[in-house]
Structure 1
Amino acid sequence: MPDKKNNSKTEISIIDYQMGNLHSVCKGIERSGGIPKIITSAAEIKKAKIIVLPGVGSFDPAMKQLKKQDLISPLNEAIAEKKPFLGICLGLHLLFEGSEEGVENGLALLPGSVKKIKNEPEITIPHMGWNQLKLTNPNCYLWKGLTKNPWVYFVHSYFAQPTNYVVESAAVTHGTQQVTAAIQFENIAAVQFHPEKSAAIGLHMLKNFVQQDQTHK
């Protein structure tokens, strides 16, 4: 007989553009109650109901790969159609207009740019390991059910700097620098850290994201 419980789960489309750790993201989505589906084409983005753009690596190669796979226009259309969207790490950076890491234009879905973390005595770059979020927008749906500022796992040398900080939902401090760690604007959410590597807290956030699909049906 069919698994009725499994049939009630939400399918999450995870974009493969050769710049993400798909295995860990898929496992995180699965453990959070979603059904991960890896997609690679414009046609699949058009059919998707809820989208994740992961990313590990550099800004310019990522944008070039999105162009090569003809995914930029479909991504823009999906965002305009208010499909629930989550960017992870590099997937956050690509939402902005450009980056100090390269010369390519970003998706420009949000105004602002990506900056390099400044060198300081007694800090390491990349910023790697566990750090505590400051929830600058406690009403962001990703934080639903959290009772305090959570600890999550980071690996990055660059950070997004929005033009309008109203989109910022969390920040993190590294040395003396407080930088944006998460954003939410309408149907767009994105995080600098790796929720799929952030133990139970990260899975809780992913579950909150998966459940957002219920509000867009």
Structure 2
Amino acid sequence: MIDISKEICPECQRVERYLEIDIKRLFNKLKTYKRRKLSDREQLYICLSLLGEEPLDIAKREYFQYLEQQVKSQHPGFTEKEIQQKVNELIRAKASGIKSFITINLSMPLKEFLSELDKDIDPEAARPSWAKIVYILKANGYKKEVETIQKRGQRKRIVIDYEGRILLKKVVKILEEFEQYLADVDLTIEDIEQEDEEHE
């Protein structure tokens, strides 16, 4: 199994375990572009985004339970369907705020940093997709060197072959479910570059 440091947050550990990104080194590097240490919130959003989570996914993680309780308290006469509709409306608003937060606080330092790693990245253009960012990091020295234990010295490869777009978060979920049954198996994502989409 990969030896993950207990000094980093659970989401950072997931980035190191499944993406093999040296997340602490990345945070330290971005600190020079931000001219300050990244906040806990900034670090969390970077990790979740690298793992394929969209702002809507992050909003659901952070606010769904709280907003559901709030709506039930404020609207005791609502049906279950009305509650969910109202919660979804509030979640979308939170997601919009998260997207703006990432754009305002993280996109520019990320683009400046990535443009130094990859000369094809224009810091004045839209930020590359998070999947592209993962690829660039691993191709430019940010792949974390981790110790693994290979049971009986054997390595097996699981290939996910698909047509069309597949979300990285679904791949991570598959690996997490595998690990529940294969306790002594080391599972990571091996990158194959694909056509990129730009995001802001």
Q: Which has the higher helix share?
A: 2
Is TM (by shorter chain) over 0.5? no
- Bigger radius of gyration: 2
TM-score by length of 1: 0.29
TM-score of the aligned structures, taking structure 2 as reference length: 0.31
